[in-house]
Amino acid sequence: NAGVMQNPRHLVRRRGQEARLRCSPMKGHSHVYWYRQLPEEGLKFMVYLQKENIIDESGMPKERFSAEFPKEGPSILRIQQVVRGDSAAYFCASSPGSGTQYFGPGTRLLVL
């Protein structure tokens, strides 16, 4: 039973480019969460999605960041016009309902 999958594991972008991070939840899980871990800081909640719906995006920056979880396919976290401050590890978690969250291995984004 595969766990939460994220790709790419590492992503390098230059300032102003776009970053697209993908998350495939565990089989049978319909709830997806994105968290960000900045260097030397703890994990911070960004957004909570169910299939085709954003439930809570209160932790996501208002500009340049967007997230989706389509009916088919993985959840996508998209960062437009990246800046150096976006460099961080981005983690996706999934749960079957509103229960325990299981985390993926993360995507390490480096903005040059």
Q: Is 24 in the site for another protein (CB under 8 A)?
A: no
Residue 104 binds another protein, judged by CB under 8 A: yes
DSSP string, 25-92: PPTT--EEEEEEE-TTS-EEEEEEEETTEEEE-TTS-SSSEEEE--SSS-EEEEE-S--GGG-EEEEE
Q: Is 59 among the residues that bind another protein (CB under 8 A)?
A: yes
Task: Decide: is 69 part of the binding site for another protein (CB under 8 A).
Answer: no
35 binds another protein (CB under 8 A): yes
Rounded alpha-carbon distances, angstroms, from residue 72 to 51, 76, 107: 9, 12, 21
For β-strands 10-13 and 107-111, DSSP reports them as: parallel
Q: Which of 24, 75, 94, 95 binds another protein (CB under 8 A)?
A: 95
Q: Which of the ranges 60-68, 69-77, 78-86, 87-95 carries the binding residues for another protein, by CB under 8 A?
A: 87-95
Q: Is 102 helix (H, G, I), strand (E, B) or coil?
A: strand
Query: Taking CB under 8 A as the rule, does residue 96 contact another protein?
Result: no
Q: Which residues bind another protein (CB under 8 A)?
A: 4, 6, 31, 33, 35, 41-45, 48, 55-56, 58-59, 91, 93, 95, 98, 100-106, 108
